Amino acid sequence: MESYSRNDDMGQFHAQRNFQKIMRDAAKLCGLDRSGWVTQASGDGEFAIFPPGTSEPRIVAELVPAMDRVLRDHNRQAADHARIRMRVALHQGLVVRGENGFAGKAVVTAARLVNADPAREALGLFPDAAVALIVSGTIHRDVVCQSYSGIRPDRFRRVDVEVKSFVDEAWVFVPDENINCGPFVPAADGPGDARRSGGKTRPSAASPSGGSRFDFGTVTNNGPTVYGDHGRAYGSHAVWRDDEERER
């Protein structure tokens, strides 16, 4: 859950209770039996292992959008401090049950992905979105790219993930949004090459005319440029402020 730690004690208590209800409702909405999931709670979320035979395309194409719908309905009725938004990471691999939780490289990958900057930036880019999904390269290759269950590969964006010593590529998706349209930090040529700037504009080399140049995905702007309601231009420098910056 996004911004969970900003809640006071009772706020966190209610957030955890709402989280469980939201997950039950979302699973029921797409015909999945949540009682069969093996979960490890973490306060602001959970690590879940799906039963053998669970359809991975169904998780991507049905469960994540169902979570988004249930969350949007919840947030419409909730006060600002009680709104819930989630980051979801999906990966596949071997998992070992240890004495203090689950172990294995697949567990580490899922944990690193869900805490990666690109997943956080995706929610910041779409303030009205309720869920941002980040999938590993394996899931993208084996599930997303095969267009199972009506999944649209064109709505996923490649990103580079660097969390602690973990470096890999991943793919980000926001239900009902097109993450490939907007000032999102583009992926570098290979894992580990990117140095992210928190989802903000990144100045590059000066334009031939001597002014400033800013890259937004595949679009390059020379000179002052303003995007969205909260963009401002001063002289030859464009400034982008996201929701998190405005809160600070």
Q: According to the model, what pLDDT value does residue 209 have? A: 41
Per-residue pLDDT of the chain (248 residues; tens, 9 = 90+): 988 888 889 999 999 999 999 999 999 999 999 999 999 998 889 999 999 889 999 999 999 999 999 999 999 988 888 899 999 999 999 999 988 889 999 999 999 999 999 999 999 899 889 999 999 999 999 999 998 888 999 999 999 999 888 889 999 999 999 898 866 554 443 444 444 444 433 333 333 444 444 444 455 555 555 555 555 443 433 333 444 444 44
CA distance 19 to 26: 11
pLDDT at position 82 is 85
Amino acid 219: pLDDT: 52
**Half-sphere exposure for 41 (CA within 13 Å, toward CB):** 6
Question: What DSSP string describes 13-73?
Answer: HHHHHHHHHHHHHHHHHTT--GGG-EEEE-SS-EEEEPPTT--HHHIIIIIHHHHHHHHHH
Separation of alpha carbons 189 and 146, rounded Å: 23
Which are the contacts of 49, defined by CB distance < 8 A and separation ≥ 6?
A: 37, 38, 39, 95, 102
pTM, 2 dp: 0.73
DSSP string, the chain: -TTGGGS-HHHHHHHHHHHHHHHHHHHHHTT--GGG-EEEE-SS-EEEEPPTT--HHHIIIIIHHHHHHHHHHHHHHS-GGG---EEEEE-----EEETTEEESHHHHHHHHHHTSHHHHHHHHH-TT--EEEEEEHHHHHHTGGGTGGG--GGG-EEEEEEETTEEEEEEEE-TTS-TTSSSPPPP-SSTT-----TTS-EE-SPPTTSS-EEEETTEEEES----STT-EEETTEEE---HHHHH-
Torsion of Cα atoms, 17 then 23 then 24 then 26, to 10°: 140
